[in-house]
Amino acid sequence: MHIPLPQPAVGTAKILDGRVALVTGSTSGIGLGIARAFAFAGASVVINGFGKPEEINDTIEGLQKETGATAVYSAADMTKPDEIAVMVNLALETFGRLDILVNNAGIFHVGPIDQVSAEKWDAVVAINLSSAFHTIRVALPAMRRQGGGRIINIASALALVGSPLTSAYTAAKHGIIGLTKVVALETAEQNITCNAICPGNVWTPLAEAHLAEQVKTGGLPREQVIRNVLLAEQPNKRFAMVEEIGAFATFLASDAAASITGAALPIDGGWTAH
């Protein structure tokens, strides 16, 4: 049986009109790009993540002004299942429904496996993988009750291929592909889809800072650092923009993507085509 999601108003149609989206880790970078794209497409959004309170306030006010959407903030720590449940309830209590869940919060760690501390491993797995289990677990009953939903997990090219010095991150990101497939299979007849987006290198404040540092310490020209160091694995030799990830997530969240589920979808300039 097909149970349709709420339809946009005729005449002023935006593809996510009437939807409510929760994006974890959306105070910066890719998560903020996705939240902005959803808000421009008509959705109300729950923003989550760390940062200075005044900067978070400015971000949310700016997003609301720019898009006309309503946004609320949850400070939930993605390593804490209790706080995650409170965050999902905030969405349901504020807006009365939850249509789109994006598990985006993530941290990166680089180092040889024998020098990765147990604490670092646990933190990377908790934020990049276990948090998605905890959000999905509490969001699914509401999606089922309301007749459908969309779950999008932000994985990585490192969910599809390995790379030295990234043991915890690569293991967690590979894990989220498995979780994506299982959730897709368990919800396939419930008008709920679950997919993973696998970005390569994306231009975020972190990438910008990393580039500046490499140029300073390596003494190499900026273009050379970009091509041969940062984008060594990325054949198209350009960073993806957060707006590209936001646009793709918006499509996956829309009615048009109803038959895409259980997929790991790269936006990586050809990285995983090697």
Look at residues 100, 207, 103, 231 and name the one whose alpha carbon lies nearest to residue 155: 103
Cβ-based nearer residue to ligand NAD, 43 or 129? 129
Residues, the chain = 274
Q: Using alpha carbons, list the distances in angstroms from residue 8 to 53, 92, 105.
A: 34, 20, 29
* Cβ(71)–Cβ(44) below 8 Å: yes
Cβ-based nearer residue to ligand NAD, 193 or 204? 204
Q: Respond yes or no: is residue 73 known to be catalytic.
A: no
Annotated catalytic residue, options 38, 95, 169, 239: 169
Q: What angle do CA 64, 202, 269 make, to 5 degrees?
A: 130
Cβ-based nearer residue to ligand NAD, 201 or 261? 201
User: Where is 202: in which H helix or E strand?
Assistant: strand 202-203
Q: Which residues contact 11 (CB under 8 A, 6 or more apart)?
A: none
Least distance CB 238 / ligand NAD (angstroms): 12
Written as one letter, the residue type at 43 is A
Least distance CB 105 / ligand NAD (angstroms): 4
Least distance CB 75 / ligand NAD (angstroms): 8
Question: Which residues contact ligand NAD by CB under 6 A?
Answer: 25-31, 48-51, 77-79, 104-107, 127-128, 154, 156, 199, 201-202, 204, 206-207
Cβ-based nearer residue to ligand NAD, 50 or 256? 50
- Per DSSP, 111 falls in state B
Least distance CB 98 / ligand NAD (angstroms): 17
Q: Which residues are catalytic?
A: 169
